[in-house]
């Protein structure tokens, strides 16, 4: 873990600045998702433009989506399966040798539970995923969560709280099943 702060970030939806940042990211995402499946160099080039930082050997399957891109930081040998969505209104830091299964959502963003103004603004809290983490298919990782090194998040889990290192978690909400 890098010791980064998990400070809440507040943002206003629909501003011209946010719209322009989304358009820039979405153009790159569209280019990535439409790239030839055999053109790994092109796909890696796009990911390097989109993300804040990228380690060696990234591999992301098609139908990837994110908000801004530049808040995503991935380590070496990163893999994300089909239909990965990362809502990166705050930073998402993912360590080395991480595998993310298909249909996974990593969501830094949230909204007020109060109905007044809910659709006009939001907040985001960084997510940190350690080294050698495996996130199974159809998992959801919520705002502010840290997942420790070497841990496994079982398929279909919803992670609402921090996960220690060297454990397997499962369920909704995810709970520790056993130590590794």
Active site residues: 111
Give the dihedral sign, CA 117/118/121/123: positive
What residues have CB less than 8 Å from 81, skipping those under 6 apart? 61, 100, 101, 102, 103, 104, 137
Work out the burial of residue 26: count CB atoms within 10 Å of its CB; fewer than 13 is exposed, 13-18 middle, 19 or more buried: middle
Specify the 3-state DSSP secondary structure of 27. helix
Specify the 3-state DSSP secondary structure of 72. strand
- Phi and psi at 72, nearest 5°, equal -100, 130
């Amino acid at each position: 873990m890098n010791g980064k702060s998990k400070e809440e970030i507040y943002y206003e939806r629909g501003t011209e600045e946010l719209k322009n940042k989304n358009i820039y990211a979405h153009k790159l995402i569209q280019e990535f998702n439409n790239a030839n499946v055999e053109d790994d160099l092109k796909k890696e080039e796009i990911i390097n433009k989109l993300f804040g930082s990228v380690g060696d050997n990234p591999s992301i399957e098609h139908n990837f989506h994110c908000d801004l891109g530049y808040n995503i930081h991935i380590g070496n040998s990163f893999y994300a399966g089909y239909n990965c969505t990362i809502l990166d209104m705050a930073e998402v830091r993912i360590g080395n040798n991480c595998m993310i299964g298909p249909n996974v959502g990593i969501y830094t963003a949230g909204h007020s539970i109060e109905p007044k103004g809910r659709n006009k603004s939001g907040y985001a809290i960084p997510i940190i995923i350690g080294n050698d983490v495996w996130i199974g298919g159809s998992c959801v990782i919520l705002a502010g969560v840290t997942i420790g090194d070497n841990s496994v998040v079982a398929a279909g889990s919803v992670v609402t709280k921090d996960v220690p290192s060297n454990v397997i978690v499962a369920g909704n909400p995810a709970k520790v099943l056993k130590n590794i």
